[in-house]
Amino acid sequence: MRVRLVPSDQPEQVPEEVRVRINGRVHRLPYQAGFTLLETMRRQGILAPSACEQGLCGTCMVRLLQGRVRLRQNHVLSEQDLALGYTLACQGEPEGPVCEIQLQG
């Protein structure tokens, strides 16, 4: 599990789906390159918490269980938060072959 903060250019490899765990259920959501985790959830009807959508408030914070996420911006999560696997759904773009997150429900 790794979260990186880098400019938002296209990752070399993205997952075909994002797995989202909510209240013990796993949702497998098709992923399209360039979309954030929040956009991906919304496109599939999952109403994830969000407020500013600028990486400033932390309302959309999720836990990364598998894979890597690249953050467009991050003004709220500390290095310790990132090391524990927390990321921002509004700014996070999955990269690599697998992405699984947990949404607090």
**pLDDT, tens only, 53-75:** 999 999 999 999 999 999 999 99
Domain of 62, in residue numbers: 2-103
- pLDDT computed for residue 93 by the predictor: 98
The reported pTM is 0.87
- pLDDT computed for residue 104 by the predictor: 81
Structurally, the chain folds into a number of domains equal to 1
- pLDDT computed for residue 10 by the predictor: 54
Summarize pLDDT for 31-52 with one digit per residue, the tens.
Answer: 999 999 999 999 999 999 999 9
Rounded Cα distance between 27 and 40, Å, is 11
Q: The domain spanning residue 72 has which CATH number?
A: 3.10.20.30
